[in-house]
Amino acid sequence: MKLSYQASYARQSDWHRNPNDYSADYWLADATLDVKGWKIGGGYEVLGADKGAALTSFQTPLGTNFKFQGWADKFLTTPANGVRDLYLGGGYGAKQVGALSAVTLQATWHRFESDRLGLHYGNEINLLASAKLHRTTAALRYAHYDAKAMATDTDKVWVQLDWAI
């Protein structure tokens, strides 16, 4: 049995000639329990907002939010009112299942809300299945975003094949 956890905090503010006078906080807390190939975990991530004006919320222009805030890509730029992401997930990984190796099944659910004003942006579910056969890895991903107060309902599917030399 293995317990992994993390906590992070950062503060972002205007600098030099930025026309926006702002400061916004970021924080994250999550934990994952791993027992014999089964994983379950959850967390809460906040990209804060200052006054609700455009580009005065915590931004990550050089980072990818695909991995962290849902695969439907609704939060590539943090909304003016910030975003709060409550997420729960679980999955199973096996070294070998018949001829397949590195078999993974995973599901993650997100509830997205604003940092200001208490808006419920929407919910998202992400599903992943992957396995390796010899030097080829196949993966199937699915994302479903159910919009409430931000963006539009979205479904995305990825089929990926990787071949190792």
Tens digits of per-residue pLDDT, 106-124? 999 999 999 999 999 999 9
Total domains in the chain come to 1
Whether 145 and 128 have beta carbons less than 8 Å apart is answered as no
Which residue range(s) make up the domain with 107? Answer: 2-163
How many alpha carbons fall within 13 Å on the CB side of residue 133? 5
Q: Please give the order of strands across the beta sheet that includes 100-113.
A: 2-13, 23-35, 38-47, 83-97, 100-113, 120-133, 136-147, 154-163
> Which tens digits make up the pLDDT trace of 58-117?
999 888 777 889 999 999 899 999 999 999 999 999 999 999 999 999 999 999 999 999
Task: Give the predicted TM-score (pTM) of the model.
Answer: 0.93
At 62, is the secondary structure helix, strand, or coil?
Answer: coil
pLDDT at 14: 93
pLDDT at 147: 97
